[in-house]
Amino acid sequence: MTASAEDSEEVPRKRLKFRCYKPHDEHLQGKQLAQVEATSIDNTVTDILNQASSQSADIDLNTLAPRKANWDLKRDVEKKTSEAGKKNKTSDG
């Protein structure tokens, strides 16, 4: 490749953005982004909490009780045991 071919294929340079850092150099101070003020979310949080508290009265506490540790094992094995029970009754007969 020649020197002119390399010049024509310039890689675009990334622009510097200083969000939190205040540069000391005067050239770089123009690239500092403006400070952004945080918005207040107090009203939003209050609305969400009020909605949640009104819905909490509708929840039945019995449905929130934790299940036993082996509830899924009993559910899965129940089909097999019922079939085995039927076969045992017919073989005894």
At 4 the pLDDT is 54
At 2 the pLDDT is 53
3-state class (DSSP) for residue 80: helix
Each of the 93 residues of the chain gets a pLDDT tens digit; together they read 455 555 567 788 887 777 778 888 888 877 777 878 888 888 888 888 888 777 655 666 666 777 777 777 777 788 888 888 777 777 765
What is the b/e burial string over 25-42, where b = at least 16 CB atoms within 10 angstroms of the residue's CB? eeeeeeeeeeeeeeeeee
Find the length of the chain.
Answer: 93
At 92 the pLDDT is 67
3-state class (DSSP) for residue 57: coil
